[in-house]
A and B are shown apart, each in its own frame.
Chain A
Amino acid sequence: MSAPAGIPPRPAAAPGGARAPAARPRAPPCRNGPVQSQVHFPSGYSLNPENYSAPSTHYPQVPHEAIPSQLDNQYIADYHSACYSVPAQSVMTHSIGPGMLNTQQLYGGAPHPVESSGGLLQEAVSSASHLHTSVPQSYSAMSSHYISSTSSSVASQGFPLSSGHYAMPSVSSAVYPHLSYPAMSIGSPYRQVLTSQSLPAVGQFKETNAFPGQSTIVPRTLQQQVTLGYNSTSWSTSDFQSAQENLSRNHTGSVAKASNQINTVGIVDSSHPVNQNVQFTKPGVETSVSSVVTSSVRTPAADHLIEPASVPSSTQPPESLLQEGMQYGGYVNNQASSAPAPLSSSSDDEEEDEEDEEAAIDSSSTTSSASPVTNNYDALEGGGYPETDSATSSPAPPPQISRNTKPFGYGYPTLQPGYQNATLPTSAMQPSNPGHQSGFQQYPQQYPGVNQLSSSLGGLSLQHSQQPESLRPVNLIQERNILPVSPVLAPVPNLNSDLRKLNCNPDSFRCTLTNIPQTQALLNKAKLPLGLLLHPFRDLTQLPVITSSTIVRCRSCRTYINPFVSFIDQRRWKCNLCYRVNDVPEEFMYNPLTRSYGEPHKRPEVQNSTVEFIASSDYMLRPPQPAVYLFVLDVSHNAVEAGYLTIVCQSLLENLDKLPGDSRTRIGFVTFDSTVQFYNLQEGLSQPQMLIVSDIDDIFLPTPDSLLVNLHESKELIKDLLNALPNMFTNTRETHSALGPALQAAFKLMSPTGGRISVFQSQLPSLGAGLLHSREDPNQRSSTKVVQHLGPATDFYKKLALDCSGQQTAVDLFLLSSQYSDLASLACMSKYSAGCIYYYPSFHHSHNPTQAEKLQKDLKRYFTRKIGFEAVMRIRCTKGLSIHTFHGNFFVRSTDLLSLANVNPDAGFAVQMSIEESLTDTSLVCFQTALLYTSSKGERRIRVHTLCLPVVTSLADVYAGADVQAAVCLLANMAVDRSVSSSLSDARDALVNAVVDSLSAYISSASNLQQSTLIAPNSLKLFPLYVLALLKQKAFRTGTSTRLDDRVYAMCQIKSQPLGHLMKMIHPNLYRIDRLTDEGAIHVNDRVVPQPPLQKLSAEKLTREGAFLMDCGSIFYIWIGKNCDNSFIKDVLGYPNYASVPQKLTQLPELDTLSSERARSFISWLRDSRPLSPVLQVIKDESPAKTDFFHHLIEDRTEAAFSYYEFLVHIQQQICK
């Protein structure tokens, strides 16, 4: 199936416990592989439960769906969601705690307590920034809870019920032991893990070697370890998988945080254990594929550090054999019981095969035969009822019901009560855990917490039919401090708390309107853009990965099953996008988490809005391709003079082992000036051979098969070449650049496999196909009228990109030029092949150290980040909505299918939508993004994000739900299109009109407002500011001298950056850093990170006595005032006084003072929050770089543009016209 080619699938009869030993012997061959940390392996174990916590909490959903008298339940349920609004949560739960605990036991049997406490833990942990501080504490909470729950209630209550529940004989025998004897399984599965680990002695030693370094960080008690062990083994099916998951993740180095931490810990030895893991886990994949359903969960990266500490230091409990036997038996039984199902199922069509959509209709449904479990279902329901009653003693229904649970036929109403009840167990757990408080402090981070109160209050108060906070009218002209002191957060959709909890993370998936208008007419009235902003391949700290032979999808619209579908009964689910009723496949009835049968709604697919599937061969058009990297390097005089080759070669040498890939990874090099040079790196040669092709009009490959070589086999030759390259062309006099022919050659080289071409170009291509001429007139740089040549000059690069895209090859462009290079034309090669573009204006290795440093950092990230090959992305939305325009780097292959030759974690996308049919018969709409890609390990995977939003009918609600940041980013994308297709001034006018129209529509809709004042709803109060910032952005500014390439690059970035990064580009964050205090500081990784308030971007905030940090996304400016406090300069910058601070300072020294520590921890915290490490630039008041800094102060007046106040007045005039 999805197992790498060449390794035969393991027989289905060897699952579970037998897996690890069998896997071991494979370990040695890969020991020299890429350097990784060994931490992943154990972390996979203990963290699974956390991610799988959700199922238990949502358990009660079933009863409610089945109960005919819906209304009661709805009321009860809704009451809960109302009561349990965030702040009240801890208070409420205390009273009902014990009762809930018991019912939890009734339902789930033994694993649940652990699992659900893990759930709390997960929620506590999930805010990434707090990971480290919170985890250890919460673990203690978990263990204590575990003990209490298992000893008290499980044995008595869980036992009989679960036996009744699992009436199907074969399954019950499998599941039963695990459920009912948790006390025993504490030790034994753990032991099992250990034994499997210790089989090959070498690996074990190496792992233990590495541990001391880590265990010092997280001291642990034995008890906790036992708990961990227990957790892990209850999901042992999936553990190997998840370990591999982690591995492949970190392998690419894409989890910046994790790798950082690893470095700080200083595990030099870390490579070896992980390599074992590679091998170790692979067989795991195979077995899991062949076994019925296995699921694994990717773990929070930050926890990697903590987990390993537990593994080696604990003693091995004695009962292992018994338990192992049981588990094994369990597996076999499972296998037997559901063996027929997977065979008959699992022939889903793939994303690529659009033509076959109809043909494959019957694929996703498997046998739908009635099962004996249905009786249990009723029993289950009966068990669930008392719990609800006792929990919801207060009868008063909140007014919110009518809003969210419209009694329409689409199943949402039935869905919601179940979800709502599901909160109860979660909250009920809290009082029973003495140690949980620590975890709970983090808890609000996940829910709309203290920080988000204002936004979430908007949603809540709306439900209580008062005017929500987000609709509070703000008089823009009178309000001086419009910018909040803390960074703006995404508004929370006005859903009930359980749907909200399940909803996709706004970082991955965001909509400009969190309340979707019901009709296009209403949308037109609101004058706001409707669209989505996606960051689908984002580095995630936690991602459930599901291996299943059947990927459950809707039969008509091919939507993947998601948390927002409704289960009509246990056997059928209703698609939330097209409303078709589908059968639940037999295999889906079994839940690998709880090892229980008949609970499809508890599967991870239905509990997480972001999941990743390991796809079967049905999703492949060809065997998964290996990772192939080709470097096309400019070696003309200009390039050599700039000196980028040294940096690139050095960086590649350093990261050669970290390049994502497996044993099949291939690499090649092509250089070009007026000729094209190839390098024969065939294994066995004593040194690299250079082959020069001077016939650039008809380019050919001199030796087609030895130019792209296996990275591992020819590593020495590659290293030789990289060492030699920088000096090979030092004396070149060749000034011409034959980029086009070189690209054609690269395409020929790559077309059999596909992969990634990285092009480094330093000037305008001047020879052969695709040659360009200078189009920029320097005198027009600051023209206010017409900016020409924003579009490409030739279609050569576009055609090339489309050819590449067709052959699954992406072209990434690094443009390092000192003069005009026509980026508008060159960028096409990356735009349409789903590549990425980097531009380093006036690059020089010694004259411009900032750019050199930036190149270095970007390259490090570029080489080590995750990569997905031969990807396609499809965005589906609820019937009635349609997508009409896409923004980003890709090729739109058909109406909703984006072809991405490569996908990288830093790529963002945007789509514009329209409402084609009115959404009158639904109260919720959903959007689903499915990204099918081949991982660098040769696995076909599908990452699915689902977002759910409410539908509203009134204009006020539309405004209340507006997400101003998303709207501005979408507008920026639209404006880029407009300026290329029409003109820049058109685009600028359109931006201004967007503000004018939406605000005037708001003012006229709110009749009680004075027409003459400029009023905005609170949700849109930053709209004029952001649009003004856009107008002053490099891409759209006029009147200020802007080089054409700079402008085009800014446009490219707008199109391809994810929202978070783009917002910083548009509206940077300004902080004052000379007086950092610990007030309001947060704790990250045992460091105190001060949180200075945001300053508005105006020179009035800059005082000569202060020092300010401006965070522009890819660059940090530190501006030091003339009269800046000497103690700051001395303590933080390390210079005695202002005058002695050098002009080009790009680093803060590590000084042992409090203020230096604070400044550095703040800056590194900012850095850690994004994948690209920004460069730092210290700017003195008189330095020439000052203008760059002051250009970002967008609230101030410049000679060519309005100040913020003037802009507001301008808007007001426009509105009144």
Chain B
Amino acid sequence: MESVVFIFSLIDCCALIFLSVYFIITLSDLECDYINARSCCSKLNKWVVPELIGHTVVTVLMFVSLHWFIFLLNLPVASWNIYRFVMVPSGNMGVFDPTEIHNRGQLKSHMKEAMIKLGFHLLCFFMYLYSMILALIND
């Protein structure tokens, strides 16, 4: 049972890593003017909710399966995701707003955030991998 949990988490984590890389690539495209703000933001906003769901599911799963350490590790990131999504002003077009993204260094902070998430997911990936192997051996 435990191994199933970790296999699922591993797959989910892989997806999140790919998503983070995609965010980074798209944002750096915007930085280099390869795409314009509008298309960049509409691309990214599409994936904000999947990312949120993916990460929340893992977090909840860890909570349910009583892996406290991993749950607590995931909790801040998951809550940040939710907070960010909820706090979008009503007039904005999503977490990434094309009219704001070039202002007040938002692009840089989005970039930084995506980088941090990538690192976090990589860390989680190895943790899930280790736990999965451990669980498989134990089984």
Contact A355 B33 (CB under 8 A): yes
Is A21 in the interface zone, CB < 8 Å from B? no
Chain A residues near B36 (CB, 8 Å)? 893-894
Is A859 in the interface zone, CB < 8 Å from B? no
How distant is A898 from chain B, measured CB to nearest CB, in Å? 9
Decide: A791 near B90, CB < 8 A? Known: A806-B38, A893-B36, A894-B37: yes
Chain A residues near B30 (CB, 8 Å)? 894
Is A895 in the interface zone, CB < 8 Å from B? yes
Is B99 in the interface zone, CB < 8 Å from A? yes
Q: How far is the CA of A891 from the CA of B34 in the complex (A)?
A: 17
Contact A977 B91 (CB under 8 A): no
How distant is A808 from chain B, measured CB to nearest CB, in Å? 14
CB-contact partner of B90 in A792, A802, A831, under 8 A: A792
Q: How far is the CA of A218 from the CA of B78 in the complex (A)?
A: 78
How distant is B6 from chain A, measured CB to nearest CB, in Å? 40
How distant is B89 from chain A, measured CB to nearest CB, in Å? 5
Is A390 in the interface zone, CB < 8 Å from B? no
Contact B99 A891 (CB under 8 A): yes
Contact A885 B90 (CB under 8 A): no
Contact B93 A799 (CB under 8 A): yes
CB-contact partner of A891 in B33, B93, B98, B104, under 8 A: B98
Is B65 in the interface zone, CB < 8 Å from A? no
Chain A residues near B90 (CB, 8 Å)? 791-795
Q: How far is the CA of A1117 from the CA of B91 in the complex (A)?
A: 37
CB-contact partner of A794 in B34, B38, B91, B103, under 8 A: B91
How distant is A145 from chain B, measured CB to nearest CB, in Å? 53
Chain A residues near B38 (CB, 8 Å)? 802, 806
Contact B91 A892 (CB under 8 A): no
Interface positions, chain B 95-116, Cβ under 8 Å from A, are 98-99, 101-105, 107
How distant is A885 from chain B, measured CB to nearest CB, in Å? 5
Contact B91 A886 (CB under 8 A): no
Contact A791 B91 (CB under 8 A): yes
CB-contact partner of B33 in A354, A831, A886, A981, under 8 A: A354
Is B92 in the interface zone, CB < 8 Å from A? yes
Chain A residues near B89 (CB, 8 Å)? 791-792, 981
On chain A, the number of residues with a Cβ less than 8 Å from chain B's Cβ atoms is: 27
Q: How far is the CA of A1136 from the CA of B99 in the complex (A)?
A: 58
Is B12 in the interface zone, CB < 8 Å from A? no
Contact B93 A828 (CB under 8 A): no
CB-contact partner of A884 in B31, B93, B105, under 8 A: B105
Chain B, residue nearest A885 (CB): B103
Chain A, residue nearest B102 (CB): A892
Contact B91 A895 (CB under 8 A): no
Contact B37 A892 (CB under 8 A): yes
* 0/1 string, B21-42, CB within 8 A of A gives 1: 0000000001101101110000
Contact B103 A892 (CB under 8 A): yes
How distant is A734 from chain B, measured CB to nearest CB, in Å? 28
Q: How far is the CA of A648 from the CA of B107 in the complex (A)?
A: 43
Interface positions, chain A 769-793, Cβ under 8 Å from B, are 791-793
Chain A residues near B99 (CB, 8 Å)? 798, 802, 831-832, 891-892
* 0/1 string, A963-981, CB within 8 A of B gives 1: 0000000000000010001
Contact B31 A802 (CB under 8 A): no
Chain A, residue nearest B107 (CB): A895
Q: How far is the CA of A791 from the CA of B30 in the complex (A)?
A: 26
Is A825 in the interface zone, CB < 8 Å from B? yes
Contact B91 A828 (CB under 8 A): yes
Chain A, residue nearest B105 (CB): A884
Chain B residues near A799 (CB, 8 Å)? 93
How distant is B2 from chain A, measured CB to nearest CB, in Å? 45
Contact B34 A355 (CB under 8 A): yes
Contact B102 A886 (CB under 8 A): yes
Q: How far is the CA of A1054 from the CA of B31 in the complex (A)?
A: 28
Q: How far is the CA of A602 from the CA of B89 in the complex (A)?
A: 54
Q: How far is the CA of A884 from the CA of B108 in the complex (A)?
A: 10
Chain B residues near A892 (CB, 8 Å)? 37, 99, 101-103
CB-contact partner of B104 in A354, A828, A884, under 8 A: A884
How distant is A1052 from chain B, measured CB to nearest CB, in Å? 14
* 0/1 string, A781-821, CB within 8 A of B gives 1: 00000000001111100110010001000000000000000
Chain B residues near A824 (CB, 8 Å)? 91
Contact A792 B93 (CB under 8 A): no
Interface positions, chain A 965-1016, Cβ under 8 Å from B, are 977, 981
How distant is A930 from chain B, measured CB to nearest CB, in Å? 16
How distant is A375 from chain B, measured CB to nearest CB, in Å? 45
Chain A residues near B92 (CB, 8 Å)? 795, 798
Interface centre among B33, B93, B107 (most CB of A within 10 A): B33
Chain B, residue nearest A884 (CB): B105
How distant is B30 from chain A, measured CB to nearest CB, in Å? 8
Contact B91 A795 (CB under 8 A): yes
Chain B, residue nearest A882 (CB): B105
Q: How far is the CA of A894 from the CA of B35 in the complex (A)?
A: 8
Contact A893 B37 (CB under 8 A): yes
Chain B, residue nearest A887 (CB): B103
Chain B residues near A895 (CB, 8 Å)? 31, 33, 102, 107
Interface positions, chain A 846-891, Cβ under 8 Å from B, are 884-886, 891
Chain A residues near B33 (CB, 8 Å)? 354-355, 894-895, 897
Contact B98 A802 (CB under 8 A): yes
Chain A residues near B102 (CB, 8 Å)? 886, 892, 894-895
Q: How far is the CA of A1217 from the CA of B102 in the complex (A)?
A: 36
Interface positions, chain B 33-85, Cβ under 8 Å from A, are 33-34, 36-38
How distant is B87 from chain A, measured CB to nearest CB, in Å? 11
Chain B residues near A885 (CB, 8 Å)? 103-105
Q: How far is the CA of A795 from the CA of B104 in the complex (A)?
A: 20
How distant is A358 from chain B, measured CB to nearest CB, in Å? 11
Chain B, residue nearest A796 (CB): B91
Chain B, residue nearest A828 (CB): B91
Chain B residues near A977 (CB, 8 Å)? 103-104
Chain B, residue nearest A832 (CB): B99
How distant is B62 from chain A, measured CB to nearest CB, in Å? 34
Q: How far is the CA of A884 from the CA of B90 in the complex (A)?
A: 24
Contact A886 B93 (CB under 8 A): no
Q: How far is the CA of A793 from the CA of B92 in the complex (A)?
A: 9
Q: How far is the CA of A886 from the CA of B37 in the complex (A)?
A: 14
Q: How far is the CA of A795 from the CA of B89 in the complex (A)?
A: 9
Q: How far is the CA of A385 from the CA of B32 in the complex (A)?
A: 49
Chain A residues near B103 (CB, 8 Å)? 884-886, 892, 977
* 0/1 string, A1131-1160, CB within 8 A of B gives 1: 000000000000000000000000000000
Decide: A793 near B37, CB < 8 A? Known: A885-B104, A895-B102: no
Chain A residues near B37 (CB, 8 Å)? 891-894
Q: How far is the CA of A893 from the CA of B99 in the complex (A)?
A: 8
Contact A793 B91 (CB under 8 A): yes
Chain B, residue nearest A978 (CB): B104
Q: How far is the CA of A793 from the CA of B31 in the complex (A)?
A: 29
Chain A residues near B104 (CB, 8 Å)? 884-885, 977
Contact A798 B91 (CB under 8 A): yes
Q: How far is the CA of A112 from the CA of B6 in the complex (A)?
A: 86
Chain B, residue nearest A805 (CB): B38
Interchain residue pairs A-B with the least CB separation, the first 10: A792-B91, A892-B102, A894-B33, A354-B33, A885-B103, A791-B91, A795-B93, A791-B89, A885-B104, A893-B36
30 A-B residue pairs with Cβ-Cβ distance under 8 Å, sorted by A, are A354-B33, A791-B91, A793-B91, A794-B91, A795-B90, A795-B91, A795-B92, A795-B93, A798-B92, A798-B93, A802-B38, A802-B99, A828-B91, A831-B99, A832-B99, A884-B105, A885-B104, A886-B102, A886-B103, A891-B37, A892-B101, A892-B102, A893-B36, A893-B37, A894-B33, A895-B31, A895-B33, A895-B107, A977-B103, A977-B104
Residues of chain B whose beta carbon lies under 8 Å from any beta carbon of chain A: 30-31, 33-34, 36-38, 89-93, 98-99, 101-105, 107
18 extra A-B contacts, CB within 8 A, seeds A798-B92, A802-B99, A886-B103: A355-B33, A355-B34, A791-B89, A791-B91, A793-B91, A795-B90, A798-B99, A799-B93, A824-B91, A828-B91, A884-B103, A884-B104, A886-B102, A892-B101, A894-B30, A894-B37, A894-B102, A897-B33
